[in-house]
Structure 1
Amino acid sequence: MDLFLVFVILGVIVLYLCVVIVRQGTVAVVTVFGKYTRVMTPGLNFKIPFIEFIYRRISIQNRSVELAFQAITADQANVNFKAMLVYSVLSQEEEVIKNVAFKFIDEASFMQALIRTIEGSIRSFVATKRQSEILSLRTEIIEHVKSQIDVLLETWGYHLIDLQLNDIAFDEVIMRSMAQVVASSNLKAAAENEGQALLITKTKAAQAEGNAIQISAEAEKTASQLRGQGVALFREEVAKGMAESARVMNEAKLDASLILFSIWTEAIKHFAENGKGNVLFLDGSTDGMEKTMQQLMAIQKLNNNGDTPPPAKR
């Protein structure tokens, strides 16, 4: 009975040593006495105890690593890079898995080689460019690294999926100088825009002022013409009225000086009402009235005969 129990226990141990469970997303490399023999795929697998050993479990999933390093441009400016690298095993083919398992002594050595290779590729590219060009060459840097690294990684059994340059920064002194350059450019652009706006504003104002002056001049011209026509009509009507009055009084054999006297008194009344304290000197002599009468009679003759009146005596 004790012997049977011993065999059962030994059987369980052997069975336990024979069973190998490989997780999804990984493969297991099996060796026999240190020599590669086969690859175990995900799921339940079996091996020969004490003869076959699991040399290494390899993940075939995507992996990522963050990088932080410094490079120097052609004009001796320090550039600080922060990048993220995404890579994976090239495929599950046997030769690829053998390369992944045996190319490097361990995972740490592979990571060190990968990181240093990428950093060196970026540094060699940046060393040929000037500081002012770096920020605009993000895509070119990534393409340069991929073109150089892909072939090398394939010999190691890996594939570069993505490389992202998350941050490109210069030293603090350079950043301040770049900020000053940008600020100066912005101020220059703002000044130019302000000057253009002021020029446009003044041009529009000058055009508006010129249009206003032109309109005002046209209005003044029209108003002067209308005033002149009004004064001419007024004088014509006054002359007609006075000539008519003189004719009526002449037919009635009355002295025309009565008309002058009436006009004279009306004028004095108007002057008194609207003079506002101003002093006016009027020619109220008989000669002055006579001269006015002669002018009125000439206007009457003009209205009766249609002839041009003789010029007034001075």
Structure 2
Amino acid sequence: MFVFSTVFLTVLICILTIIVLKFSLFVVDQETVAVVERLGKFNRAATAGLNFRLPFLEWVSGWLSLRIQQIDITIETKTKDNVFVKVEVSVQYHVVAEKIYDAFYRLTDPKKQIESFVFDVIRAEVPKLILDDVFEKKDSIAIAVKNELAELMSNFGYALVKALVTNIEPDEKVKAAMNEINEQQRLRMAAQEKGEAEKILIVKNAEAEAEGMRLQGLGVANQRKAIIDGLKQSIREFQAEMSEVSPSEIMNLVMMVQYYDTLKDIGSRDKSNTIFMPHSPSSVSDIAKQLLCKSVVE
């Protein structure tokens, strides 16, 4: 009987010990805080690791994560120029380890409270700006959100890490109108660039043509000078050999040779047009007389 009582007592003690340990020991994960209450009143914040609480007197009433959390909020509001836009804001925040009491007890739903604050800030800032300025100053809007929330949420045990305006979505009709304006601006710029390119091309072609004509004129002038110099030399040599021949007769002879050379050159071309020209020797003198008469008249 004594042995039975001893065994029973030992088993009972073991069971009670297990129960006490079960209700006394608890583990808190990393970057997490357990809120411990004693008889319904806040007692302490248990940090990561193995923790002890008084069984039946202390309870873990809740858990708070110390990790950075993010909440995405979409707010519809109106700009200064009466355009409805949807502004998407992302807010990153975390619980302040030194303010566990405020973070756990002062706010029932922290996310809802943050949303309310963000709504107030966005609807106060965006109506001050026209649509174009909303796009340009979205960083300033995000800073305003952060500055406003940082002070408010610090009273409730939360710290703001960053506030970002991630997207600004105008009304569909306004967006289509903006796209149309951008398209027309780009088309106008393309037309201007094309016009400038064509203008440059025309100017360059004109300059090239003028330079070509100048060089062509220079070549013709040099050619004529060379012909005249050659004729002078031929006349001098002819007179040196035959002094009894007059210069006019020599000139007629030279012109005849030049005339027949011209006929030969025209006839040798494959794609030349049909030209009827006098080819008798007397025609050369007739042409010379006509040129002489024309020069005298002028």
Q: TM-score range by the shorter chain?
A: 0.7 to 0.9
Q: CA deviation at 1:68?
A: 2.2
User: Is 1:100–2:106 an aligned residue pair?
Assistant: no
Q: CA deviation at 1:3?
A: 4.4
Opposite residue 167 of structure 1, the aligned amino acid is N
Contact kept? 2:143, 2:163, Cα under 8 Å: no
1:129/1:31 CA distance change after superposition, 3 Å: same
1:242/1:122 CA distance change after superposition, 3 Å: same
User: Aligned to 2:243, what secondary structure does the other structure show?
Assistant: helix
Q: List aligned pairs for 1:105-254, cutoff 5 A.
A: 105=108, 109-243=109-243
For residues 178-199 of structure 1, give each alpha carbon's deviation from its aligned partner in whole angstroms, at most 9, with x where no partner exists. Answer: 0011011101111111111111
Instruction: Name the counterpart of 1:16.
Output: 22
- Rounded Cα–Cα distance in structure 2 between residues aligned with 1:208 and 1:162: 64
1:202/1:277 CA distance change after superposition, 3 Å: closer
- Rounded Cα–Cα distance in structure 2 between residues aligned with 1:192 and 1:277: 55
Instruction: Name the counterpart of 1:80.
Output: 86
Contact kept? 2:24, 2:54, Cα under 8 Å: yes
Instruction: Name the counterpart of 1:256.
Output: none
User: Aligned to 1:76, what secondary structure does the other structure show?
Assistant: coil
1:46/1:62 CA distance change after superposition, 3 Å: same
For residues 107-163 of structure 1, give each alpha carbon's deviation from its aligned partner in whole angstroms, at most 9, with x where no partner exists. Answer: xx2110101211221221111000122221221111111111111111111111122
- Rounded Cα–Cα distance in structure 2 between residues aligned with 1:61 and 1:101: 15
Q: CA deviation at 1:244?
A: 6.0
- Rounded Cα–Cα distance in structure 2 between residues aligned with 1:70 and 1:202: 54
- Aligned pair count? 257
Contact kept? 2:75, 2:122, Cα under 8 Å: no
- Rounded Cα–Cα distance in structure 2 between residues aligned with 1:225 and 1:277: 26
- Rounded Cα–Cα distance in structure 2 between residues aligned with 1:24 and 1:239: 124
TM-score by length of 1: 0.74
Q: CA deviation at 1:277?
A: 7.8
- Rounded Cα–Cα distance in structure 2 between residues aligned with 1:215 and 1:144: 72
For residues 34-92 of structure 1, give each alpha carbon's deviation from its aligned partner in whole angstroms, at most 9, with x where no partner exists. Answer: 211212111111111121121221111111122222221111111122332221112x2
User: Aligned to 1:165, what secondary structure does the other structure show?
Assistant: strand
1:223/1:282 CA distance change after superposition, 3 Å: closer
- Rounded Cα–Cα distance in structure 2 between residues aligned with 1:180 and 1:72: 22
- Rounded Cα–Cα distance in structure 1 between residues aligned with 2:244 and 2:282: 25
User: Aligned to 1:161, what secondary structure does the other structure show?
Assistant: strand
- Rounded Cα–Cα distance in structure 2 between residues aligned with 1:189 and 1:113: 49
Instruction: Name the counterpart of 2:286.
Output: none
Opposite residue 45 of structure 2, the aligned amino acid is V
Q: CA deviation at 1:211?
A: 1.1
1:278/1:58 CA distance change after superposition, 3 Å: same
Paired residue for 2:41, among 35, 56, 65? 35
Q: List aligned pairs for 1:53-64, cutoff 5 A.
A: 53-64=59-70
Q: List aligned pairs for 1:259-274, cutoff 5 A.
A: none
Instruction: Name the counterpart of 2:73.
Output: 67
- Rounded Cα–Cα distance in structure 2 between residues aligned with 1:101 and 1:137: 35
- Residue identity over aligned pairs, in percent, reads 23
- Rounded Cα–Cα distance in structure 1 between residues aligned with 2:57 and 2:192: 84
- Rounded Cα–Cα distance in structure 2 between residues aligned with 1:125 and 1:7: 67
User: Is 1:89–2:92 an aligned residue pair?
Assistant: no
TM-score by length of 2: 0.78
- Rounded Cα–Cα distance in structure 1 between residues aligned with 2:107 and 2:221: 103
Over alpha carbons, which structure has the higher Rg? 1
For residues 275-299 of structure 1, give each alpha carbon's deviation from its aligned partner in whole angstroms, at most 9, with x where no partner exists. Answer: 998364749xxxxxxxxxxxxxxxx
- Rounded Cα–Cα distance in structure 2 between residues aligned with 1:206 and 1:34: 98
